[in-house]
Amino acid sequence: MSVRAPERESLMASAAPAQPAVTIAGLTKEFSTRRGTVAALGGVSLQVATGEVLGLVGPSGCGKSTLLEIVAGLQEPSAGQVAVEGRPASADRLAACVLMPQRDLLLPWRSALDNAGLALELGGVGRRGARRRAAALFERFGLGEFAAARPDELSGGMRQRVAFARTLLAARPVLLLDEPFASLDAITRAELQEWTGEALAAEPRAVLLVTHDIEEALYLGDRVLVLSPRPGRVRMELPGARGAAGPRSETVTSAEFSRLRARALEALA
């Protein structure tokens, strides 16, 4: 069966630097089960530039989270190539990536500040040094007054902010975000999307964002790839609205944004 080349739109797209942070070429992933072989990904190719946010949307079970785990070095592809900063070895990929899962996974006995600094401590930084570096980020991101709070004293949105600060403090060049706002209500989710856009502008990284929310992918992404049902393939590429002037409410209700959202929905139909 022939596979169509993914459709692309050039509106609002910007040229990517020559050296990508993440390169994937012809990536296939299959799993062996009692019922036979299951193909999760079927020949995915993409690149993510340093400082770029690439959104990935697609139906459930199309291999989005599996793709993140492969990039992170937690799994290996069945076929194809994957490299992070030009290095294909799984240990090198793992060292260059940090994965933020759907759940915040904050430790209940630690303060918000100490939860954020945990990655630094695991990397050999002392508790005092980790707190100092986390505190600087907390002040920049409007979290300073919650530094001493325990996770059960924080709202869902605030917990996700702390988890995101922890992700940034890991100081890896590639961020892999796996539905980070899936558990939040719609109002909090919209607020966190705007906050995350500002945070990524202040702390740029190469970002792969997996989400079921087309609006979220378009708002936060420089580009968005729409994946097909399993086995996941790139069906369409769209420009994102990252960096658009004005508040989120104006961006997501604009005619151009609505047109792009309709195109993505069409590709998913």
Please report the DSSP string for 160-211 in residue order: HHHHHHHHHHT--SEEEEESTTTTS-HHHHHHHHHHHHHHHHHS--EEEEE-
Would the pLDDT of 203 be above 90? no
- Give per-residue pLDDT as tens, 145-197: 999 999 999 988 889 889 999 998 988 999 999 998 888 888 888 988 998 89
What's the whole-number average pLDDT of the chain? Answer: 89
**pTM value?**
0.87
215, β-bridge pairs = none
- Give per-residue pLDDT as tens, 96-114: 999 998 888 999 999 999 9
Decide: 110 and 135 in contact? Cβ < 8 Å. Answer: no
Q: How confident is the model at residue 16 (pLDDT cuts 50, 70, 90)?
A: very low
- Give per-residue pLDDT as tens, 245-257: 888 999 999 999 9
For residues 263-267, average pLDDT? 93
